[in-house]
Amino acid sequence: MKPVPPSRLALAAALALALAAPAASALTIYSAGPGKLIDTLAAEFKRASGVGVDVFQADTGKVMARLQAEAGNPRADVVISASWDSAADLDRRGWLLAYSSPNAAQVPARFKQPAYVAQGLSVLSIVWNSKSGTPRPRDWSDLTQPAYKDKITMPDPAQSGASLDLLSGLQGRQSEQTWQLFGALKANGMVIAGPNAQAMNPVLQGAKAVVFGAVDYVALGNQAAGESIEVIFPKSGTVVAPRPMMILKSSKAADDARKFVDFVLSPRGQALVAEAYLIPARQDVAAKRQALKDIKLLPELDAGQSLAARATALHRFATLFGRK
């Protein structure tokens, strides 16, 4: 038998080491939609950094339920929610890693905290099918009129973080007037239809006429694609829903997680956010839709008031609409 040349032995040893080496690092990101946006951000980040990204995409309720179920053995590194309150809650529980990205300098103070920052912003709206044969609504209260009987859907606040922000925001700002409104909407046949897509689809298909409290970016995308719908911001005011981005303290890839947050808040990352019809978190990146300054918003609640109101509002809503 001929001896194996040293060069081949070295090559074989190098190959064995390469095969035994751990796979390239990867981040695990849990994101509450939009699915196309997080997939695009993940792909662009991998191209820029070489770090792979595993994505779990679902509605906010499912994302938070998964985090809770995995509390004993956390898997996520970065979480993007559709509810600012959910980030405040996780921070209060000590789950989040404080990080101030240098790219957050252009994010307004109201949309960042030491342990979380807005990826982008959505605004809660009325979405109306212009071919539904119903009058164009101008305000939330218009939907209590007989013309909209049995023609209204609403995302379930237990599943949609943005819808929960609207519910707790309306209760905190308008108190019992909000519950009078919801009582009248129930009497008018409003259907609570699961997460945002389940509320939107019947309106797109013409089976229903209006979504109460739709996330605007989804509808704006559908409208741009030629659907016969209109996004209407109520004249009495509505609620902005910042989409918080946060790093879990349990992350074993915190450095890469910080890089991902930096990327999303970079001009390129924020341009991708704008492409999804969200309002960019950075005020120096242009939106592709109506800007926040041009929309009437209800007065802000402080974080403590908002957190305290959330569970109460959700319980009362579930009781009213038989969602228990």
pLDDT (tens digit, 0 to 9) for every residue of the chain, 324 residues total?
Answer: 455 454 444 444 433 433 333 344 589 999 997 879 999 999 999 999 999 999 999 988 899 999 999 999 999 999 999 988 889 999 999 999 999 999 999 999 999 999 999 999 999 999 999 999 999 999 999 999 999 999 999 999 988 888 888 898 888 777 789 999 999 999 999 999 888 899 999 999 999 999 999 999 999 999 999 999 999 999 999 999 999 999 999 999 999 999 999 999 999 999 999 999 999 999 999 999 999 999 999 887 665 555 666 788 889 999 999 876
Strand, helix or coil at 119? strand
CA of residue 124 relative to chain centroid, distance: 12
Where b means 16+ CB within 10 Å and e means fewer, 4-22 reads: eeeeeeeeeeeeeeeeeee
pLDDT score of 308 = 64
- Partners of 31 in beta bridges: 57, 80
Two structure tokens written together for 317: 């809503």
CA distance 261 to 272: 14
Two structure tokens written together for 186: 């129930």
CA distance 74 to 240: 30
pLDDT score of 6 = 46
CA dihedral of residues 23, 29, 35, 40 (deg, nearest 10): -60
Q: Are 310 and 168 in contact (CB under 8 A)?
A: yes
pLDDT score of 47 = 97
Residue with tokens 């939009």: 34
Q: What is the CATH number of domain 122-240+298-320?
A: 3.40.190.10
Q: First vs last Cα of the chain: how many Å apart?
A: 78
Render 266-319 in DSSP notation, one character per residue: SHHHHHHHHHTTPEESSTTS--SS--GGGS-BPPPPPHHHHHHHHHHHHHHHHH
Where are the alpha helices (H) located in 60-191, listed in sequence order? 60-69, 84-92, 161-174, 176-187
Two structure tokens written together for 139: 């305000």
pLDDT score of 21 = 34
- Which ranges in the chain are annotated with CATH 3.40.190.10? 23-120+242-291, 122-240+298-320
pTM of the entire predicted model: 0.86
Q: Indicate the fold that domain 23-120+242-291 takes in CATH.
A: D-Maltodextrin-Binding Protein; domain 2 (3.40.190)
- Partners of 238 in beta bridges: 297
pLDDT score of 25 = 57
CA distance 151 to 169: 24
- Partners of 241 in beta bridges: 122
SS3 content of the chain, % helix, strand, coil (to 5): 45, 20, 35
Is 99 annotated for ligand binding? no
CA of residue 129 relative to chain centroid, distance: 24
Two structure tokens written together for 216: 């605007």
